[in-house]
A and B are shown apart, each in its own frame.
Chain A
Amino acid sequence: MSRFLLPLTIFAVMVGFLAVGLTLNPREIPSPLIGKAAPAFSLPQLHDDGKTLSLDDMKGQVWLLNFWASWCSGCRTEHPVLMDFARSGVAPIYGMDYKDQRDEALAWLDQWGNPYQVVAVDAAGRVGIDYGVYGVPETYVIDKQGVIRYKQIGPLDDETVTKKILPLIQELQAK
């Protein structure tokens, strides 16, 4: 009996490791930017090319920064969630139109609705690189001092919003 015990134990440990491995998502790369100051930017606005949107414009409030694009299918998936969130008025969402065509982005918002307070245009994707974006959609929760508190990789869903984002926003707004 004891001669089977060791192989059996090793087998059980391996199964354990593999089982945990299956539940992990290799696409989710933890961001080193959590707890750090949000990178500064100053970009033209989507709806008015003449105006710019800078990081400083959002100082003093808790806000969401959502990287999206009209060519991104995941953005369509999360769009209703963003619309609901915007309607609730808990916190403003600022959009970052990532590597997109202006007319297509405007048409997309006209067709599906605009959940954003203001949309900035990151045509070359440079601000995206500063924020460590590697696939849209990605969403950041940024606090009153301009510190990144949370990063969502991939589409937001109702569960993430109610369980993670809303409690975090309430906590940050109370500060």
Chain B
Amino acid sequence: MTWLFSLLLLVAGSAWAGEARPLGDDPAVEARLKQLAGELRCLVCQNQTLADSNAPLAEDLRREVREMIVKDMSDREIVDFLVSRYGDFVLYRPPLKTTTVLLWAGPFVLLVGGGIALAVTLRRRQRMVENAVITDEEHRRVERLLSQGVKES
């Protein structure tokens, strides 16, 4: 029984080995493709990179990029090829332009704004503490409480 099972495993194993396909002809090309595709957005499933997506368009675009790599085009040229067709939207890191200023500067504007608001609030609160005036009666009560160290309910 065991030997039969082993034989089956062996046969199945060799069958899989026969079907395994190489990733690409040239590992260097595939490495560059992987690196580039990780920077590009799939137009169909917009929250995935070109590297992650299995959409038919993503496959086509990977094929285009692979061919451009083989043609020895620079990263810049390849990215420009895609941007001229699909716009800045294909880039996961959009360039700094008048239309994208808010996108890039927004978080910093919020940070600075929050910092200013915090400083103003703290200063105002400090002033309130400094200007606090207590009457003689209150003063005596404070002293009594401190000396007793007991809660007065």
Contacts and interface: CB of A to CB of B under 8 A. Distances in A.
Interface of A: 26-27, 29-33, 99, 124-126, 128-132, 134-135
Interface centre among A31, A32, A128, A131, by most chain B C-beta atoms within 10 angstroms, is A32
A129 B64 contact: yes
A56 to B, nearest CB: 21
> Dominant SS at the A interface?
loop
Given A134-B57, A135-B43, 17 more contacts: A26-B46, A29-B43, A29-B89, A30-B87, A31-B86, A32-B83, A32-B86, A33-B84, A99-B56, A125-B60, A126-B60, A126-B64, A129-B85, A131-B85, A132-B85, A132-B87, A135-B57
Interface size for chain B: under 10, 10 to 19, 20 to 34, or 35 or more residues? 10 to 19
Contacts of B61: 129
A125 B85 CA distance: 14
B44 interface: yes
A99 to B, nearest CB: 7
Interface of B: 43-44, 46, 56-57, 60-61, 64, 83-87, 89
Contacts of B83: 32
B60 A31 contact: no
Contact of A135 (B44, B84, B85, B89): B44
Nearest to A130: B85
Nearest to A125: B60
B60 A32 contact: no
